[in-house]
């Protein structure tokens, strides 16, 4: 880690069901949950960065 760049950043996280996304992949994202929509809106309002993570087990909630 570069000691000169130790600032903390916050990135919205969007868990994905039944899909794994690798760097530089282009896929359509279909979101319906209000939390997911807010996550994407936050990314678009700021620096357009978002972290996509694969859910091991999809659960309701």
pTM here is 0.65
pLDDT tens-digit readout, 7-21: 888 888 888 888 888
Token digits of residue 34: 């209000």
Task: Return the bridge partners of 53, or none.
Answer: 15
DSSP for 14-50 reads EEESS----TT--------SHHHHHHHHHHHHTT---
Q: Are residues 54 and 16 in contact, defined by beta-carbon separation less than 8 angstroms?
A: yes
- Looking up tokens 């359509």 gives 28
Higher pLDDT residue, 60 or 21? 21
Domain locations along the chain: 13-54
């Amino acid at each position: 880690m570069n000691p000169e760049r130790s600032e903390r950043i916050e990135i919205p996280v969007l868990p994905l069901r039944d899909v794994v996304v690798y760097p530089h992949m282009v896929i359509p994202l279909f979101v319906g949950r209000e939390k997911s929509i807010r996550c994407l809106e936050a990314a678009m309002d700021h620096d357009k960065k978002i972290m996509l993570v694969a859910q091991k087990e999809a659960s309701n909630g």
